[in-house]
Amino acid sequence: MSAKIQSVKGTRDFYPDVLAPIRQIFDAWRRVSIRHGFQEWDGPTLELLDLYREKSGDELVGQLYRLTDSGGRELALRPEMTPTLARMVAAKINALPKPIKWFCVATLFRGENVQRGRLREFFQWNVDVIGSADMTADAEVILVGVEALRELGLTQADFQVHISNRRLVQAILSAAGIPVESHGGAYALMDKAGKLPREETARRWSEAYGSAISYEKLDALMSVATLPELRAAVGAIAPATADLESAASDTERLLAILQDFGIIEYCKINLRVVRGLAYYTGPVFEFYDRSENERAICGGGRYDDLLGKLGRAGEPAVGFGMGDVVLSLILEEKGLLKPARKGGDVMVVDAAESVRPTLHTVVAALRRGGVAADFSYAHQAIGKQLKMADKIGVSRVVILGDETTSAGRVRIKDMAGGAEREVALETLLADPRSTLGL
């Protein structure tokens, strides 16, 4: 094969030092999911193209990696997990005890413009609750996301959860007289506000929807961050309707539970959060770094209609996806990713060629005893071996000297302090971890 063939744009080669910090993130995701009562699941990488055509929305479908199999079926590499989750749960809806609390860490593929924070192959952690319409489920998934970021060392000063509610925004637009068919266009403009110059958004909004809601009022609505502000801004735009009242009290309840969970300080209302995916029906949210210089760390929300569209019976659902790319950038910037550990706990070195057979036996026995032990494949000067131990970053070195070994003893060197002590080889092999002080 030609050496000139390069990797595919937007993909990564996971050399050990690239993978190690990502593993650190995976481990935190997994630990936190399990601690909150979620079970791990996974699905296939390939799905029928139709699953996304029907479920994901135009933006994602335009980015699909498509292929046709030998039977002529149109397939796609998964760009997200939610349609697969809905398909799998819908197929066994009666057999699964509810609420279903599942998480996964999956490789996804999107033919996006490659840019900072966006790749074409990336990992995404998904946390979903299916079978509960209660706002407690929405609050719980947000809690899981916040706790994972805290577990990784981020604080309230580093990130914030921006919360909106599609049903609330829809109710506001409807109550103000904007027909449902036009909501898509209105959402798109709200999504663009902040990305386009203000005058441009104002011009486009006024032209299309200005007779129902003036741009000033929309702007005020999109700038609210607290519940009282929200109530006031909504009141200025639209008369109270039953829909509006119910969506507003859902939002209120969600925030109250977030307060009970002790994470309200991490959260704020932000009605600019629209979410590109088609299936959201209620609260939606995105996690951003405080400076808002990076793209979203995470996005999710409630999708009560998706399962019903895939199976016979509907089930309410809520969840999020958090990618590894933006999160890595933020953790890296804050110095929170540990560099790759090259080797194990211990390096076993020999002071003489004659003890090589014993060294082999000791290394194998230590490993069997649960110690991550390394050694050089050939005898080298002891100084060289100690240098290698230093490079690997082990905390202890076991030294097999010529005479000590024949007397059934070995030396243990503590790499941090440099202290050395002698122990019986038999003791080391009988209880390696505690003899080594690990």
User: What residues line the site for ligand HAM (CB under 6 A)?
Assistant: 80, 82, 110, 112, 118-119, 122, 124, 126, 128, 277, 296-300, 319-323, 325-326
CB of 354 to ligand HAM, least distance (A): 55
Where are the alpha helices (H) located in 312-392, listed in sequence order?
325-333, 356-368, 382-392
Sheet of 46-48, strand order = 46-48, 74-77, 66-68
Residue placing its CB nearer to ligand HAM in the complex, 205 or 280 = 280
CB of 359 to ligand HAM, least distance (A): 46
CB of 35 to ligand HAM, least distance (A): 19
Residue placing its CB nearer to ligand HAM in the complex, 128 or 250 = 128
Q: Which residue is nearest to ligand HAM (CB)?
A: 323
CB of 318 to ligand HAM, least distance (A): 7
Q: For residues 79 and 83, give the distance between their C-alpha atoms in angstroms, rounded to a whole number.
A: 10
Residue placing its CB nearer to ligand HAM in the complex, 82 or 281 = 82
CB of 116 to ligand HAM, least distance (A): 10
Neighbours of 58 (CB within 10 A): 11
Residue placing its CB nearer to ligand HAM in the complex, 103 or 209 = 103
Residue placing its CB nearer to ligand HAM in the complex, 62 or 235 = 62
Phi, psi of 92, deg, nearest 5 = -125, 30
Under 8 Å CB-to-CB from 423, ≥6 apart: which residues? 409, 410, 412, 435
Neighbours of 140 (CB within 10 A): 23
Which structure tokens are listed for 167? 């049903």
CB of 407 to ligand HAM, least distance (A): 59
Under 8 Å CB-to-CB from 55, ≥6 apart: which residues? 82, 83, 86, 278, 279, 306, 309, 310
Residue placing its CB nearer to ligand HAM in the complex, 2 or 113 = 113
DSSP 393: T
